Structure 1
């Protein structure tokens, strides 16, 4: 396969100077994830972005020369482009012009495995491209595949607006049916009082590796951005017997396209309905604080900030000295998901956090009801239980979710908490 040669363009200004270097570094990673080769960068510092061509006239000429000298196929701007801006740039630069949003959408198109994921990506791409159909003629004649064109493809773009709107309606209808099925599954888990845990975090923080560490599943986990796209829910049993579910979802990123957030609402619903969020953070990242802030901001926007959180600082093995690590979010734990020994540390931290959220109980069971203890181990966190010979009863102490029948007194009249 012929690898596309890419040139990246970014403008540092008053609005983005704080995270600009990291944003450009991230754009390199995104480009490589999309299977492209970055052969050059063009950066301009100015008060504000040029409204016509993002960069100034002189820089645009410089970009044209750079594209020619490097024989680049694609130019990716680290800013969202309007159809007019893309057209004006194409008049000077002889290459395919796309922006950061199109690049992310393209990666999502590569990563989507399920039918639902593919539909969501296509919906996001069509919603993004619909208002940009005017003036796309030059680029369309040049497109034959490659970065920025996966998913619906050029045949969709060449159709008229009416056809695209009709396609969007059909996709939304199909997604609604899938969403209803997913909602029934979520409600079933809620009704069964199963405690639900969700994995969230910046892309490539190690969520899937943690999923594999806890559940022994073989979830796709690579050192790539957006390695996981389709949500995956698995049962997980703690060493003491308590049963729960863990859901792995798509990672967050700076400037996550609005189109993706809208299209992936049903996927994000998987995390919105959980009882505890494990916020996975790459402890070794140079831009850890910015990544934490991005995730916390998105949690606010997605109305998930009410859900209890345990921050899991991952990749401790990549720190120069883990003993000197200073966390910023609490409660937390520091692990390396690649190290099997970290499983015990993580389980202990999750158990401790769950006890903080649960209601304590002290239950007396008749000897004839001793069989219920094995059931309680699956549904509660038992701290201790003992047989009292003088009363021929069992005394059981522990913690359970407020939804649990053990805290509602449905199993015994002698419930105390």
Structure 2
């Protein structure tokens, strides 16, 4: 169970579907993550609903019988919100609002809400607001709930449609204004990046809540906000770091997540430019998470989308202090060994030990475990990029010697 802070949590239920592409175990993983997202947003999940379907119902996402069951539960337990694991169409959201008579959200809406809570700077708030308006635009008709009671009639149809069209125009104008504002900030940030000189750029990337900000604090001795919630950090932080006598720039970027809303990928384009323009990526992975291999695939998918998959990358498997392999009793002749039974040493012997040219590290950023090995690997990678760019500086940065002074 998640530890609850002394705040008023909103009673929430979750819903998802089991399909040919998403079995029961996979849905359970997604709903676990959705519950953590809900907790991050200030909700308390008291029930989960699922249904096996070939495809979502185009009108209500779930079948009529399951919707009736959910409606009864919501009324009986005074539930305020239901969150669906997949994005709902405007028609589905409108119909569900009418039937269930409670707040109906989907995964995209929830993530946008968390981003809105977490945005600290004017730029991040502008990016999130743009994504929210882009999500809202096709759903405006459903937001006019008072029009549903008018059922047509003389003198009713025109004003209603005019009101909705007026809102659409306002939202479109606001979207255009926000895009223009972001373009201006993007140009300023591009100038800032170009003014950073010839220093090698290193970017921390990874799934949300894998320890990127903790690692950033340890490497750069800075104070980046860290919290055990999803999307604790939205704004990109850039620090100058020196290992031995070799300086480079290190940036901590927004965490990725499965089913990341396309609106956010688009509106956070400039933030992701830190990744696009990086010379080296440190792909941080929470090895203690049971779904970490899926997380790697999700991050790689987004890196592919932003044309950054071909960059030199060091895989940093973090939180080895929290990793607990599953155990099998010696007398158990039934249970098959799975990857989650692997020890760290056994993981190292798998594909993890053969990423690129042995570019895999196993560390604990919190306990600084194996941190000297991490520093050495990063130094060597940054040094290689630097002397390739400036061969005449080769003598300035000798091979890493662990007996030298730390800085």
TM-score, normalising length: structure 1: 0.80
Indicate yes or no: 2:49 matched with 1:42. Answer: yes
Match of 1:325 among 335, 347, 356: 347
Match of 2:306 in 1: 302
On the 8 A contact 1:5/1:37 being kept in 2, the answer is yes
Runs of at least 4 residues off by over 6 Å = 360-364
Match of 1:404 in 2: none
Using the TM superposition, give the Cα deviation of residue 113 of structure 1 relative to its aligned residue in structure 2, in angstroms: 0.5
Q: In 2, Cα distance between the equivalents of 1:140 and 1:269?
A: 43
Unaligned runs of 5+ in 1: 142-156, 365-375, 385-417
Using the TM superposition, give the Cα deviation of residue 11 of structure 1 relative to its aligned residue in structure 2, in angstroms: 0.7
Using the TM superposition, give the Cα deviation of residue 362 of structure 1 relative to its aligned residue in structure 2, in angstroms: 12
Using the TM superposition, give the Cα deviation of residue 258 of structure 1 relative to its aligned residue in structure 2, in angstroms: 0.3
Q: Aligned-residue CA RMSD in angstroms? A: 2.5
Match of 1:343 among 352, 365, 371: 371
1:136-215 matched pairs, under 5 angstroms: 136-138=143-145, 160-189=167-196, 192-215=197-220
On the 8 A contact 1:214/1:236 being kept in 2, the answer is yes
Using the TM superposition, give the Cα deviation of residue 341 of structure 1 relative to its aligned residue in structure 2, in angstroms: 4.3
1:312-391 matched pairs, under 5 angstroms: 312-320=316-324, 321-326=343-348, 328-329=351-352, 330=355, 331-357=359-385, 359=387, 380-383=396-399
Q: In 2, Cα distance between the equivalents of 1:23 and 1:119?
A: 29
* Matched position secondary structure for 1:31: helix
On the 8 A contact 1:97/1:139 being kept in 2, the answer is no
Match of 1:244 in 2: 248
Match of 1:132 among 136, 139, 143: 139
Using the TM superposition, give the Cα deviation of residue 39 of structure 1 relative to its aligned residue in structure 2, in angstroms: 1.2
On the 8 A contact 2:56/2:62 being kept in 1, the answer is yes
Indicate yes or no: 2:285 matched with 1:269. Answer: no
CA deviation string 1:72-101 (max 9, x = no partner): 100101111122111211222121101100
Structure showing the higher helix proportion among its residues: 2
Q: In 2, Cα distance between the equivalents of 1:280 and 1:360?
A: 25
Unaligned runs of 5+ in 2: 1-6, 149-163, 325-342, 401-407
Match of 2:28 in 1: 21
Indicate yes or no: 2:221 matched with 1:216. Answer: yes
Q: In 1, Cα distance between the equivalents of 2:83 and 2:142?
A: 18
Q: In 1, Cα distance between the equivalents of 2:290 and 2:283?
A: 18
Structure showing the higher strand proportion among its residues: 1
On the 8 A contact 1:214/1:343 being kept in 2, the answer is no
